[in-house]
């Protein structure tokens, strides 16, 4: 019985780590071609999101949160970007590293983005 419990816990752990969604997460300027960092989302996340906010000149990428999940079918009837207003566009998708669109809601082509810049480590004197 003890062995069966350990085996069950191991199976749950392995399956939860295998099905975890990975999304881009971070905020960049509207005209940026920089990639944001990758994040392994928590178990509640079933969507990768991107919010294009032209009033603030930013694009925010993230994993979906608990509050996002309850109305996702209305906000995201299908993968892609959905116009919310003249200043806001909401984008969503359900597969790994899929939330990386341009500010106009179109997809980046291969080679159009660059990796996140490394933090400079200049010595202080």
Residue 7 lies in a domain: yes
Residue 60 lies in a domain: yes
- List the single range of 3-7, 47-51, 77-81, 118-122 with lowest mean pLDDT: 118-122
Looking at residue 2, what is its pLDDT? Answer: 54
Q: How confident is the model at residue 81 (pLDDT cuts 50, 70, 90)?
A: very high
Looking at residue 123, what is its pLDDT? Answer: 46
CA distance 103 to 50: 10
Residue 121 lies in a domain: no
For 90, phi and psi rounded to 5 degrees?
-115, 125
Domain that holds residue 39: 2-93
For 40-109, what is the HEC assignment?
ECCCCCCCEEEEEECCCCEEEEEECCHHHHCCHHHHCCCCEEEECCCCEEEEEECCCCCCCECCCCCECC
pLDDT in tens, 22-79: 999 999 999 999 989 999 998 888 999 999 999 999 999 999 987 777 777 778 889 9
Residue matched to tokens 């990758």: 38
Residue 119 lies in a domain: no
Mean pLDDT of the chain: 81
CA distance 9 to 15: 10
CATH of the domain at 14: 2.10.60
Total number of domains in the chain: 1
Residue 14 lies in a domain: yes
- pTM flag (> 0.75): no
């Amino acid at each position: 019985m003890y062995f069966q419990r350990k085996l069950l816990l191991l199976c749950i752990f392995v399956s939860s780590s295998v099905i975890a969604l990975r999304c881009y997460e971070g905020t960049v300027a509207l005209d940026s071609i920089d990639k944001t960092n990758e994040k392994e989302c928590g178990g509640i996340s079933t969507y990768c999101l991107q919010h294009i906010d032209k009033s603030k000149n930013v694009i925010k990428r993230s994993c979906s949160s608990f509050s996002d999940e309850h109305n996702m079918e209305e906000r995201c009837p299908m993968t892609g970007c959905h116009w919310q207003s003249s200043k806001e566009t909401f984008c969503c998708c359900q597969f790994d590293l899929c939330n990386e669109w341009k500010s106009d809601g179109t997809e980046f082509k291969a080679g159009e983005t660059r990796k996140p810049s490394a933090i400079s480590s200049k010595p202080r004197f």
